[in-house]
Structure 1
């Protein structure tokens, strides 16, 4: 018999949905966040052969890399994306426009169950903005489109918060 997917909620069979989540930057929850890219780590494969054993090779783990994550937010007056992007490169301040103190930030991603209770949390380490889309393409002929701005963030890894466990569901 397979292990249960949800030990605290044996009645549950369905995985968590992807539409209920929160992302915070330095403790401030992003308003109007509509989409977040996947957290992904890739580890290189190192192949080698031993002398005298040319018919097979051994594979070992090499270095790991963490893919950039894109966050999309409905266009509004919330300046959290722009302020963070400006801490990496502020056009108004010229070449010296990087804030060496504030450009790296802590990002916390929380998956919520359908009742809105935190179920899984990850923290991204030393994140910074590598791309900022301030305005989407504007089109006067399309009245049915919501404006989206986005940032792409680089980070040095993610860690699951073990203190956030499976919530008891009613």
Structure 2
């Protein structure tokens, strides 16, 4: 049975209320300064079969699944966890030996509702305020841009960019919201 939607839910969700968690085990650490996450999409190809003697009708079946790469942008700051991950993948590609940092990681993209619990900790709040979460399986850095175009005449924020290849993603079931007991 699907989880019921609370009566006070405000839809649609805003795109700025998200966090990225990296994990090599069950628990994960949030990555600071992630500005954008894009590419959470999948394509399913079709396998076509034509019936003998009938050239007007085809049968199509789902065939090959392609998971699009994820693209992350992070402001250059003190949190260098994404950069260390990219260096670990490069070290593994260069030497074939597993470095100290994991090469493949599971990612969790948590989307929050700013209005779920206005009296709780400031947004994005506790885990109970999480509305949607997506689990990305065995991601690794396939493209890394350490610095953007530097321009002395511009006042833009410096962003590093990563493209992640992965082995698929799935939505994580929403936590069940429990209401306090009334006397």
Structure 2 Cα separation of the partners of residues 145 and 19 of structure 1: 19
Structure 1 Cα separation of the partners of residues 56 and 141 of structure 2: 47
1:73 and 1:150 in contact (8 A); partners too: yes
1:81 and 1:132 in contact (8 A); partners too: no
Q: For residues 97 and 14 of structure 1, do their structure 2 counterparts lie closer, same or farther at Cα, with a shift above 3 Å needed? A: same
Write out the 4+ residue segments of structure 1 that deviate beyond 6 Å after TM superposition: none
1:148 aligns with 2:159: yes
Larger CA deviation: 11-20 vs 78-87 = 11-20
1:22 aligns with 2:19: yes
| 1:85 equivalent in structure 2 | 86
CA deviation map 1:120-152 (0-9, x unaligned)? 11111111000111111111111x211111111
CA deviation map 1:26-73 (0-9, x unaligned)? 111110111000310101111121102221111111110100001111
In structure 2, stretches of 5+ residues that fail to align are: 116-123
1:128 to 118, 128, 140: 140
1:54 aligns with 2:65: no
In structure 1, stretches of 5+ residues that fail to align are: 1-5
1:118 and 1:167 in contact (8 A); partners too: no
- Give TM-score, length-normalised by structure 1: 0.84
Structure 2 Cα separation of the partners of residues 111 and 8 of structure 1: 15
SS of corresponding position for 2:72? strand
For residue 167 of structure 1, report the CA deviation from its aligned partner.
5.1
Coordinate RMSD, CA, aligned: 2.4
SS of corresponding position for 2:94? helix
1:95 aligns with 2:91: no
For residue 118 of structure 1, report the CA deviation from its aligned partner.
0.6
Aligned residues: 160
| 1:3 equivalent in structure 2 | none
